[in-house]
Structure 1
Amino acid sequence: MSTVTEAARRAGAPRPGGGTIRSVRDSLVVARRNLIRMARIPEMVIFGLVQPIMFVVLFSYVFGGAIALPGQQGPIDPAQYRAFLMAGIFAQTVTFATAGAGAGIADDMHKGLIDRFRSLPMARGAVLTGRTLADLVQTALTLVVLAVVALIIGWRTHENLGKVLAGFGLLLLLGYAFSWIGALIGLSVRTPEAATSGGLIWLFPLTFISNAFVPSDSMPAFLRHIAEWNPFSATVQAARDLFGNLPPGYPVPDAWPMQHPVLASALWSVVIIAVFRTLAVRKYRSATA
């Protein structure tokens, strides 16, 4: 009897370590579980690569010869548009991962896996943190493949390696921030299908009412102001600056986020993480109470 009691005590007792250390450790365990799952279902990664590659090819070769950038002299140069475009495609790719994050968490809820996690002696927020970290790794791999495709079609950076890496770092930070929005959506709906729809329906206006694909000064005044204060636009502008992809003579809008895009991008991402992580963890606790 004493042996059984001791085993039960060990199973139910928290493991050694402070709250922060325990939360980090549990989050990494959950992240590892999700990464193993992704490795065993490679079509999840493959299908996640198809859409951004299609966007690169279609926008580069279908629209690239028809869109003139402000400050551009002479005939339309598709190469300049490709340089302008890629930061927008990178940003769109990391934010569209939001739908996958939400669907994955909704699927875990639907199958009862979250309830099984709740029965274990682990930090409550670790389930969501681990999931978002795993999604961040997948997003990083997608960005690597997408950058290779961009190099093949002629995209180049014109800054030093440190700035280029900083640009990709801001893109990943934005993707991680948006994955918390996806987590909240996944916890708020009943099915993975609803999470996918809910994760995409607001992303299309967010990404297209921005400077990702066309300059914001070509928009009506009210849309231009929205685009210039859009967190997505700030990250796109920051990536263009850090990659050295702003066309010669391109006029930078007067809005503060466009004048200080690196700082604005970092601030937007941190605020989104702080707000939506708090909301998602609170929703997780109430959903599993």
Structure 2
Amino acid sequence: MSLPERVTIYEVGPRDGLQNEEAVVPAEVKVELIRRLLAAGLPVVEATSFVHPRWVPQLADAAQVMATLGEEGRALPVLVPNERGLDRALELGLRHVAVFGSATETFAQRNLNRSLDEQFAMFEPTVRRAREAGLDVRAYVSMCFGDPWEGAVPVEQVVSVGRRLLDLGASQLSLGDTIGVGTAGQVKQLIGAFGEAGVGTDLLAVHFHDTYGQALANAYSALQEGVTTFDASAGGLGGCPYAESATGNLATEDLVWMLTGLGVEHGVDLGAVVATSAWMAGHLGRPSPSAVVRALAPTVG
């Protein structure tokens, strides 16, 4: 089976990886984490989110982090939940933003305080203004494979939500298995359904959580279908503050190990990422959930 020659790893550790941590990580540690990940060759590092601190206290220092990063931070994507978040991104001269939508009614209500349809009315001015200002806009679609309140999510519902976000002006969809219940067969089916709806893999990214130990298998399935952008989190950090059953993201190191074994180019220095994750685990006071970090951390400096 033919696989893509090269893929892009979209590192989400500093935002999605840390957002659910109870103990506040100092801004200077977050800045160093971002700089270490960039130095390790990761081409995209999502830095933070301009969400209201009441909802995600861990990211209350978003403006401080981006200001400290300065010019190097302007090229890094940030999550903006609404127009107020976009205003903050524009004030800092940032060039890449993302919005976070839901494929299900219940999660839209719980996460966005909007119905499934109403969320698009909220996103429309945010995406429009961002594009008018010359910014690139990514769109996350959460609960693509299962929802803790609604159960299995119909494929056609996910495709409908994704198409509407693209129609608003998003340049890429990140399909999220927010609670980690997806399987390789479901990944193949969903990507195929997008293709049948006229959405090629060049517009898709995948975002897997490892709740059931399926994240790496799901990534391989997406790779077989031609997807070339993979979200991952250094050390497997992460969860979702609005879905208690969501556990860690696909670990960047585990993904890199698999890609290297398959001969797929990624441009990432595995040793540097492992060392960074081991360093971050020390700040968090617990070992990394990544199998590759556990295997290699004693051997890296």
Query: TM-score, structure 1 length as denominator?
Result: 0.24
Q: Quick check: which has more Rg, 1 or 2?
A: 1
Which structure has the higher relative contact order (CA within 8 Å, separation 6+)?
1
Query: TM-score, structure 2 length as denominator?
Result: 0.23
Q: Which has the higher helix share?
A: 1
Q: Which has the higher strand share?
A: 2
